[in-house]
Structure 1
Amino acid sequence: MTDSGNARRRGTDKRRRLAAAAAKVLHEQGVERTTLADIAGAADVPVGNVYYYFKTKDELVTAALNEQTAHLTELTERLDQLPDPRDRLKGLVEAWTEQPDLTARYGCPTGTLAVELGKRADGTLDAQAGVVIQQLLDWAEHQFRELGLPDSAGLSMTLVAAYQGMSLLSNALRDPNVMTSQGARLARWLDSLTADDTA
């Protein structure tokens, strides 16, 4: 590989590290409390280099949202390998409850960011957070439709709303057991749904 190719690869790697660090730090600290120096430190990148890739904190927030989108896409593509859509939905719930301590401490990465961005006066980035949540809703709706269940859009909304609610409660109460107990309840709910259901 040429020197310019190596430099380009290093630059791409550094940008990815910064985006991943932004997603982590913003989840843990929120937008207002996070500085570019915090993100540079988490990515192990000199703070002066951050400005080469991201001119403003908002650009880093966008990068963090893109990271969340990529993570969701990776997860749903992995779940799509399962032959049964019900198992895919239960796999999603299982993924949600994998790190209950983290959720109890910081909440849902996308949900907490969406709430914080929604309170800002400019109102430009909150729509981007909504795109990530909409992607999740669309995927879940597709699974319910494959199961032949009526009102697949409504069921998708119920599932995602339940996740957001249990994440909020787990965080507010600082209780990881909320995630595990409610995750088990969601899995039982998914098992109980049949094509004869009307709601």
Structure 2
Amino acid sequence: MAKRDKTEQIRQQIIAATDDLLYHKGFNLMSFSDIADAAEVPRGNLYYYFKTKDEVLAAVIEHRLQQMRLMLDEWEHTIPTPLARLQRYARIPLNEMENVTRFGCPMGSLNTELGKSQPELQAIAKQQFDLFREWLVRQFEALAPTENAEHLALHLLVRTQGLATLAQIYHDTALVMQEVEALDHWLEGLAD
């Protein structure tokens, strides 16, 4: 394997390990040693790729954004209607139920943690919500052109984030199923 390929592979290994740690442990409780251990990279070598935890966080957010763009692009090409795409979005907590009931939403929990004392980092993490929000606005514009798409997009974000938060607090899978079903009905009503 070429040195450049090996370097990129290790960098991606660090990003993936950090992404997992962010979700399961949180940014402030995670140390460089934790990242090195999880990525199976000697701590001294970690500094070759990232000088600070903030740099690793920015790389993780960029990776997440790339993955989200790919997912949303795939939905655009494989799910035929705005209603079906919005319902697919609303089912994310259902599809990720085990993690959601244990850890909440990875985007929401990170933004909440960073928003308390690290607004400059929270601004980077918020980009994930911005991406979903913009995509949801486009879907609502196509679904119900007479409605306020921005308001509907925020409403759906609020409901899914609230659902993820309460599902994690109560460890309640029935709540997830019940609320996703209610979201389906709400969306269907907008399409009528």
TM-score range relative to shorter protein: over 0.9
Displacement, 1:97? 1.9
Between the two proteins, the alignment pairs up a number of residues equal to: 190
Deviations 1:106-126 (A, max 9, x none): 111111101111111x52111
**Is the Cα contact below 8 Å between 1:137 and 1:156 reproduced in 2?**
yes
Match of 1:59 among 51, 55, 61: 55
Deviation above 6 Å: which 4+ runs of structure 1? none
Displacement, 1:84? 0.7
Q: Counterpart of 1:47?
A: 43
Displacement, 1:159? 0.5
* CA RMSD of superposed structures (Å): 1.5
* Cα distance in 2 for residues equivalent to 1:88 and 1:38: 37
Displacement, 1:135? 0.8
Deviations 1:131-188 (A, max 9, x none): 1101100000100101133101111001111010000001111223322221121112
* Cα distance in 1 for residues equivalent to 2:172 and 2:42: 36
Identify, as 1 or 2, the structure richer in helix.
2
Match of 1:26 among 19, 22, 35: 22
What fraction of aligned residue pairs are identical, expressed as a percent? 29
- Secondary structure, in 3 states, of the residue corresponding to 2:186? helix
Match of 2:64 among 61, 68, 72: 68
Displacement, 1:129? 1.5
Displacement, 1:57? 1.0
* Cα distance in 2 for residues equivalent to 1:137 and 1:47: 37
Asked if residue 114 in structure 1 is aligned to residue 99 in structure 2, the reply is no
Q: Which runs of 5+ in 2 are unaligned?
A: none
Q: How high is the TM-score relative to the length of structure 2?
A: 0.92
Q: How high is the TM-score relative to the length of structure 1?
A: 0.89
Match of 2:169 among 168, 172, 176: 172
Q: Which runs of 5+ in 1 are unaligned?
A: none
Q: Superposed, which structure 2 residues align to 1:80-95 within 5 Å?
A: 80-81=76-77, 82-95=79-92
